[in-house]
Chain A
Amino acid sequence: MSFLFIGCWWFTKDSLVSFSKAFSSKPSVLEKSLKRAERMKEACGAKCVLFLLFVQTWLVENTGHTSPGKPVLLRCRSPEKETFACWWQPGSDGGLSTNYSLYYTMEGSLEDAVHECPDYKTAGLNSCYFNKTYTSLWITYTISVVAQNALGSKSSDPMFVDVAYIVQPHKPENISAELRTQDQKPYLMVKWEPPHKADTKSGWITLHYEIRLKAEKGAEWESHYAGQQKQFNVFSLHPGEVYLVQVRCKPDHGFWSEWSATTYIEIPDYFRPRDTSVWILIAVLSVCIFLILAWTVAIKCNSIKSYLLPPVPGPKIIGFDTQLLKSGKSEDLLNALGCQGFPPTSDCEDLLVEFLEVDDGDEQKLVMNEGEDDLEGRVKSSGNEVDNDSGRGSCDSHTLLLEVSNSSTKTYAQVGSNSNNKGSVKLSRKCSTNGKLLRFETAGEKTNTWPTANSSFLLARQSSCYNISKIHREACSLGNKADMHGNTSSAHKSKEYRELHSTVSGDQKTWFADEKHDTPLLPFKSAEYVEVQRLNQQSMLILKPKTEGHKSVPPEFIGQEYTKVSGVVSDRVLLLLRDTGAQGSSDTQEGENQAVHPSLQCQVGKMVGTIPASPALEGMQLAASGYVDTAALLQSF
């Protein structure tokens, strides 16, 4: 047993010596000592090593003790750059009582002089305290701790320390927080003093400070760097709260101290009344404003009422406004009548939309609208009923619209007027640029003859109205089509005819206005009336002749629905052809397909434009331009 102990002690001593030589000397010395140990081991031979191992394991098995674990040096700190202390953490003690000893060497002094810690107590457990005598600045200490128990010893890794760089001061002291006001705003003036041990007076240590504060209910601290001064003003405060204030310090190059003890200070609420006074002021102002508004409203009660709640207008004829009639503005009237798009817009500059209005009696007055160009005349109609049911095909509209578009010449269509002051219609229509004008002038009532060439007749029923916009559009499109065709067929100049087809869906008679190239015109003796009923999808204008009765209608006239407009005479008269034996429907179909040479089969007969029941002329063939001049609306029949 003793032999074992001797053996162990011999080894540990050796290791201790070698260790002490190792860390206090240069690496080569350490290597030397290690080599020495190695040599010793070798000298022993494997036998000794085995023996030792045996012993150790036997000891462990029997007693559970081992040599101590390796201690670890935690840190060394100097509070005032005059003394310092080091702390370590012990390793496992191996079950036996273990001694810890700290050894150090100093650079510059004798290289091999190993010193032991002068004071193990002052700084607490597992610590070493160096007082002023043992502290030298700007010198590198090499420090290590050795743990030793009965079975062995272990030394920690060395730590190199220069006291000037491990300064961590104590906390600042005597922190006072004072509430002051500046310009009615509260601020906190915080004052403190450096830790009493740190000698800042002589300039040995220079400290920088940092202050932090937090509302008691707040979550986060608000930090401020205060430099080297010993007071600080804090401005961002909320009244009525309790604040916590803390200060810490740090030397030039060193570690921050711990936060000082918390100082509590309460910010009183006496700034609230000021806020309430502001609110009172705002309330008073708003009351005054309200009173002023109420007074204003009371005075201007009536006018406000009429502004906010306009009087309910009286019953109004749909689409027809007598006021507008009186004012004579065609646009307004037509818009009121629901005829939109009149006058024609710029894309159809060549076109002039005109409408023909025929009324049935004296009481009817129609206003002719001419659109862009000057009117040749105006006829006013005072109709009791105004119907803007254009496109429906019913014959109760007062207005008649015939829209023809052309691109070549101006033609007038003249419709004969009734002499008996019945509703006669004079249509004149002018095209602006290169269109043709068709003017329809109603001839006498009994006239059955068509005017001379280039005139045609339009009979308008008293109660038909066309959707001007629709007609216009269709005429435009048709005109464009015609233009196209004209271009393609290279008969641009000679193209004079245009087809306007209109069908009345479900109605009895249809008119077709059509144009044909160079169709000879038949002389017409009398002006007859044509009622344009509607415009169908194929841009066909349906004209319905008005006849006085069936009596004077030539037989061939009856049953046929088309009137051929052969041409326009002297730009003023639309010649309608009497065409026999032509069937309207087939022609219309042809006409649709061709779009240039539509044929309107119509029979020109007597056109009497008074009674709605007259059979309608089949079609109207418009010469050349196909414009209807609605310059004059004659009196109703």
Chain B
Amino acid sequence: PVSVLFLVLVCLDLEYRVTSAPICAHGDAGCHLLSVSDLFDRVIQHSNRVHSLSSDLYSEFERFLPVRNQIGRATRKCHTSRILTPNGKENAQRTDREELTQVILRLLVSWMDPLLQFHQSVAHNEELSKFSSNKALELSDMVHELKSGVEKVAEKMQLVGIISNSLNGVFPAEASLSSSASNEARHIRDYELLHCFRRDSDKVQNYLKILKCRIVPELGC
């Protein structure tokens, strides 16, 4: 689906650059705003799916967790906690678009590798059902797509001029790749990973919605 968007974007971009004939009568700005809105809707749908997948997996892991670990769950820090994220509405609204977009991208990029490893870990875990393995794979893929989609949105916004071109390179947070020996330790590690990711996906979804309603507030806000 995002690939289709890709094509659309590319075509639009080409037309924008090569010819001066406007695509729609309202003028280029209006047209681009419309497409930005569509792009936003698309990525928000993606993020919704990502979050629901992560919630499902989190619940499944919670079920299989050894009882004694219920005390003080998820006490370990997430590897993305170094990324400064607004933790309230006012904070988020005070953050400007570029920074917000940057935060989103950083989060997504930081999770790409750990999710791959997570999928591999789940695939080898016999306790979990086949659905879990499939979900983990889908999760990993969707995060990739989401990241691409957000990048496209960012590019579009930059093109249109919604955000400035001050997007620096995205530096992902390095994840500490700890390989555990025992199944149980691995299980706990995956559980905590899911806990962190579930939260981060909620952040991403929230930030995207804020961005959308800030940029194109007329539709669905």
In the complex, what residues of B have CB within 8 A of residue A202's CB?
A: 89, 93, 210, 213-214, 221
Complex CA distance for A199 and B71, rounded to whole angstroms: 34
- The residues in B between 69 and 86 inclusive whose CB is less than 8 angstroms from any CB of A are 71-75, 77, 81, 85
Q: Which of B73, B81, B199, B210 contacts A164 (CB 8 A)?
A: B199
A359 beta carbon closer than 8 Å to chain B? no
B202 beta carbon closer than 8 Å to chain A? yes
B87 beta carbon closer than 8 Å to chain A? yes
Interface string of A133-157 (1 = CB under 8 A from B): 0011111101000000000000000
In the complex, what residues of A have CB within 8 A of residue B126's CB?
A: none
- Nearest opposing residue in chain A for B195, CB measure: A140
Task: Identify whether the interface residues of A are mostly helix, strand, loop, or mixed.
Answer: loop
Interface string of A237-275 (1 = CB under 8 A from B): 000000000000000110000000000000000000000
Contact-size category for A: 20 to 34
Contact in complex: A138, B87 (CB < 8 Å): yes
Contact in complex: B72, A132 (CB < 8 Å): no
A108 beta carbon closer than 8 Å to chain B? yes
Number of A-B contacts (CB under 8 A): 63
Contact in complex: A206, B209 (CB < 8 Å): yes
- The residues in A between 187 and 236 inclusive whose CB is less than 8 angstroms from any CB of B are 199-204, 206, 228
Give the Cβ gap from A318 to chain B, nearest Cβ, in Å: 90
Contact in complex: A82, B212 (CB < 8 Å): no
Query: Are A203 and B213 also in contact (CB < 8 A) when A27-B72, A138-B202, A228-B220 are?
Result: yes
Complex CA distance for A142 and B73, rounded to whole angstroms: 10
A26 beta carbon closer than 8 Å to chain B? yes
Complex CA distance for A327 and B212, rounded to whole angstroms: 105
Complex CA distance for A139 and B74, rounded to whole angstroms: 11
Interface string of B49-90 (1 = CB under 8 A from A): 001000100000000000000011111010001000101111
In the complex, what residues of B have CB within 8 A of residue A27's CB?
A: 71-72
In the complex, what residues of A have CB within 8 A of residue B55's CB?
A: 253
- Nearest opposing residue in chain B for A229, CB measure: B220
Contact-size category for B: 20 to 34
Contact in complex: B213, A139 (CB < 8 Å): no
Give the Cβ gap from B21 to chain A, nearest Cβ, in Å: 34
In the complex, what residues of B have CB within 8 A of residue A199's CB?
A: 89
Interface string of B89-109 (1 = CB under 8 A from A): 110110000000000000000
Of the listed residues A82, A201, A252, the one surrounded by the most CB atoms of chain B closer than 10 A to its CB is: A252
Give the Cβ gap from B194 to chain A, nearest Cβ, in Å: 14
Contact in complex: B75, A26 (CB < 8 Å): yes
Complex CA distance for A137 and B86, rounded to whole angstroms: 9
B147 beta carbon closer than 8 Å to chain A? no
Contact in complex: A164, B202 (CB < 8 Å): yes
Complex CA distance for A164 and B220, rounded to whole angstroms: 21
Contact in complex: A82, B210 (CB < 8 Å): no
Contact in complex: B206, A204 (CB < 8 Å): yes
B187 beta carbon closer than 8 Å to chain A? no
B203 beta carbon closer than 8 Å to chain A? yes
Interface string of B12-34 (1 = CB under 8 A from A): 00000000000000000000000
B48 beta carbon closer than 8 Å to chain A? yes
In the complex, what residues of B have CB within 8 A of residue A81's CB?
A: 89
Give the Cβ gap from A163 to chain B, nearest Cβ, in Å: 9
Give the Cβ gap from B90 to chain A, nearest Cβ, in Å: 7
Contact in complex: A138, B85 (CB < 8 Å): yes
Q: Which of A132, A160, A201 contacts B213 (CB 8 A)?
A: A201
Give the Cβ gap from A475 to chain B, nearest Cβ, in Å: 85
In the complex, what residues of A have CB within 8 A of residue B90's CB?
A: 132
A162 beta carbon closer than 8 Å to chain B? yes
In the complex, what residues of A have CB within 8 A of residue B214's CB?
A: 202-203
- The residues in A between 117 and 138 inclusive whose CB is less than 8 angstroms from any CB of B are 132, 135-138
Contact in complex: B210, A160 (CB < 8 Å): no
Contact in complex: A82, B209 (CB < 8 Å): no
Of the listed residues A108, A162, A200, A203, the one surrounded by the most CB atoms of chain B closer than 10 A to its CB is: A203
Contact in complex: A162, B220 (CB < 8 Å): no
Contact in complex: B210, A204 (CB < 8 Å): yes
In the complex, what residues of A have CB within 8 A of residue B211's CB?
A: 203
In the complex, what residues of A have CB within 8 A of residue B202's CB?
A: 138, 164, 253
Please name 13 further chain A to chain B contacts, defined as beta carbons within 8 Å, in addition to the given A136-B87, A164-B202, A253-B51, sorted by A numbering: A27-B71, A27-B72, A137-B87, A138-B85, A139-B87, A140-B74, A142-B72, A202-B89, A204-B89, A204-B209, A204-B210, A252-B51, A253-B55
A-side residues, CB < 8 A to B, are 26-27, 81-82, 107-108, 132, 135-140, 142, 160, 162, 164, 199-204, 206, 228, 252-253
28 A-B residue pairings within 8 Å (CB atoms): A26-B75, A27-B71, A82-B89, A107-B74, A132-B88, A132-B90, A136-B87, A137-B87, A137-B88, A140-B74, A162-B199, A201-B221, A202-B89, A202-B93, A202-B210, A202-B213, A202-B214, A203-B209, A203-B211, A203-B221, A204-B209, A204-B210, A252-B48, A252-B51, A252-B205, A253-B51, A253-B55, A253-B202
B-side residues, CB < 8 A to A, are 48, 51, 55, 71-75, 77, 81, 85, 87-90, 92-93, 199, 202-203, 205-206, 209-214, 217, 220-221
The 9 A-B pairs with the shortest beta carbon distances in the complex, nearest first, are: A203-B213, A203-B209, A136-B87, A137-B87, A204-B89, A203-B210, A138-B199, A202-B213, A203-B221
